[in-house]
Amino acid sequence: MRWFIFILFYLVLSWYAFQSVRTLTRINWIHYSYIVLSLVILGSFIYQFAFLSEQSRLMTPARSYAFGFLLTFIVSSLCVIPFLFGEDLYRLGAGVYNKFFGQGQSFTVLSRRKFISTIALGIAAIPFTSLLYGMYKGKYNFRVLRYTLHFDDLPDAFDGYRITQISDIHSGSFDNKSKIEYAVDLVNEQESDVILFTGDMVNNEAREMLPWKDTFSKLTARDGKFSVLGNHDYGDYISWSSPEEKTKNLDQLKDLQKEMGFDLLLNENRYLEKDGERIALIGVENWGAGGFKKAGDLGKAASGIQKDDFKILMSHDPSHWENQVIQDDYHYHLTLSGHTHGMQFGIEIPGLIKWSPVKWRYKYWAGIYEELGQYINVNRGFGYLAYPGRVGIWPEITVIELKKKELA
């Protein structure tokens, strides 16, 4: 029934949007091309998500592209509809007026005007080209974002300490090995003291990481690389033949991370030491508000950590920081999160605008925030999920330098 409603919605939307094309040109091959394209996009989506649903649970690149092209077509069509609908109301009103107030005129609906369809298609071309660009180029348009944070209680030995954070790899979505190798090399070029990965290594299954295991094994930092789990790493979003199979999948992912050289922190902590001084690194399992998995245990993760230690917390979902971390008795100097992806869509012009629809869901959704003398960085994500692209919110490699605040 859901498929029937969706197909009906898509066909009606496509037919209505097609009226602008038909108004603008009478060339038949353009009309036929539009119709064939809309049907091919619909057929591809149905094939990938209906007919292959039992054969594969993975969000493969083919499925991502099927969804991406469908999304592009629907969003572009929706941009056309308000113009056509507004014109249709005018045409209907004019026809009624002529019928009852015209001098003997019959009810006649005016023809569509070309300039309205031209404007509608011109507006629709903006999301159409943007979303296609996001799939072609944007998803691998890696950016290195650098921040310097000052703390008055940072141990002297860690003045100038550099952290590289990556998050949300979503390896099951990748389709270009050379681009990923370039990004891994870019991480290593930062020559940071430590690499911290804040969750969502896969979309659902551990096997998604197998083709990329050797590539991510090349990540290196002087003090090692550490990781935590994200909500997608638990395999909660697909069906399993048994609870044992699901548990085995998670164990395989944990083993894979170890084989790649990551120290996976499962509600645990480590000390990073330098010149006789140390800072605490705490990693919690996923904790998310709004129906997301709450496996994180901050108290357990910080067990053995002293209250006056300088603390860095790795927690995948920034809602954890908002709901638990900020008000905790322990002062967590810096929290590193990801999860939001910046919705993979938005507008960012440094110093002028920073906007994405995801801001309506997450208060802290991208970049550095400060509350009660504590910082969080929400990484925009290394990979992508579902829509195989990024528009305006580019894949991110974060480099954070810790600095000792000079006393006045």
Tell me which of 296 and 405 has the higher pLDDT. 296
Packing angle, helices 61-101 and 2-24, rounded to 10: 60
CB 395 within 8 A of CB 385: no
What digits encode the pLDDT tens for the residues 320-337? 999 999 999 999 999 999
3-class DSSP assignment, residue 151:
strand
pLDDT at 352 > cutoff 70? yes
For residues 73-92, average pLDDT: 88
Measured N-to-C along each axis, helices 61-101 and 28-46 cross at an angle, to the nearest 10 degrees, of 130
When pLDDT is cut at 50, 70 and 90, the band that residue 93 belongs to is confident
Q: Residue 390 contacts by C-beta under 8 Å, 6 or more apart in sequence? A: 134, 138, 139, 141, 344, 345, 384
Looking at the chain, the number of H-run helices and the number of E-run strands are 9, 14
Interval 147-164 mean pLDDT:
97
Closest among 197, 126, 195, 137 to 167, alpha carbons compared: 197
Position 60 pLDDT exceeds 90: no
**Where are the alpha helices (H) located in 151-217, listed in sequence order?**
177-189, 213-217
Strand partners, 196: 165, 226
Give the three-class secondary structure for 220: coil
> Across the chain, what does the average pLDDT equal?
93
Residue 188 has pLDDT above 60, yes or no: yes
pLDDT at residue 100, as a whole number: 67
Q: What are the tens digits of pLDDT across the range 373-400?
A: 999 999 999 999 999 999 999 999 999 9
Q: Which residues contact 167 (CB under 8 A, 6 or more apart)?
A: 197, 198, 199, 200, 230, 316, 336, 337, 338, 339, 379, 381, 382, 396
* DSSP letter, residue 344: G
What pLDDT shows up at residue 137?
95
Confidence of residue 56 (pLDDT cuts 50, 70, 90): low
pLDDT above 90: percentage of residues in the chain: 83
Q: What is the CA radius of gyration of the chain?
A: 26
Question: What's the confidence (pLDDT) of residue 210?
Answer: 97
- The closest of 298, 270, 272 to 285, measured between CA atoms, is 298
- Helix pair 114-136, 61-101: axis angle to 10 deg: 170
- pLDDT-derived band at 87 (thresholds 50, 70, 90) equals confident
Q: Give me the pLDDT at residue 99, please.
A: 65
Give the integer Cα–Cα distance in Å for 390 and 140.
8
Closest CA to 18 of 5, 27, 36, 31: 31
Residue 267: pLDDT over 90: yes
Q: What is the pLDDT of residue 266?
A: 98
How high is the pLDDT of residue 38?
96
pLDDT-wise least confident of 21-30, 100-109, 306-315, 355-364: 100-109
Residue 405: is its pLDDT beyond 90? no
The answer for residues whose C-beta is within 8 angstroms of residue 216's C-beta and 6 or more apart is: 169, 184, 209, 260
Q: What band does 104 get if pLDDT is binned at 50, 70 and 90?
A: low
Domains and CATH numbers, the chain: 2-136 (no CATH), 143-404 (3.60.21.10)
Q: Decide if 282 contacts 314 (C-beta within 8 A).
A: yes
The per-residue pLDDT for 115 is 86
pLDDT confidence of residue 286: 98
Residues 6+ positions from 405 with CB-CB distance below 8 Å = 150, 151, 152, 154
Q: What pLDDT does 2 receive?
A: 85
Given a cut of 70, whether residue 110 has pLDDT beyond it is no
* pLDDT level of residue 222 (50, 70, 90 thresholds): very high
- For residue 58, is pLDDT > 90? no
Q: How far is the CA of 394 from the CAs of 42, 90, 168, 297, 398, in angstroms?
A: 28, 42, 13, 31, 12
- The pLDDT tens digits for 230-264 are 999 999 999 899 999 999 999 999 999 999 999 99
154 and 190 Cβ atoms separated by less than 8 Å: no
In terms of pTM, does the model score above 0.85? yes
What is residue 7's predicted lDDT score, i.e. its pLDDT? 93
pLDDT grade, residue 103 (50/70/90)? low
